[in-house]
Amino acid sequence: MVGQLLFVLPAEARLLRPTGVEYMIESTAKVERSAIVYSKLRFVAFLLFALAVAPPSRAASDWSSTANPKSGHSQKKGRSPGGDVASGTGDIGKGAAKGAGNLAVGAGKGAVDLVTLHPIDAAASVGKGGVVAGKDVTVGTVKGTGKIAKGVGRGIKHIF
DSSP the chain: -HHHHHHH-HHHHTTSPP-HHHHHHHHHHHHHHHHHHHHHHHHHHHHHHHHHHSPPP--HHHHHHHH-TTSS--------HHHHHHHHHHHHHHHHHHHHHHHHHHHHHHHHHHHTT-HHHHHHHHHHHHHHHHHHHHHHHHHHHHHHHHHHHHHHHHH-
Q: Is the pTM of this model over 0.75?
A: no
Locate the domains of the chain by residue range.
12-53, 81-159
pLDDT in tens, 86-142: 999 999 999 999 999 999 999 999 999 999 989 899 999 999 999 999 999 999 999
Report whether pLDDT(61) > 80.
Answer: no
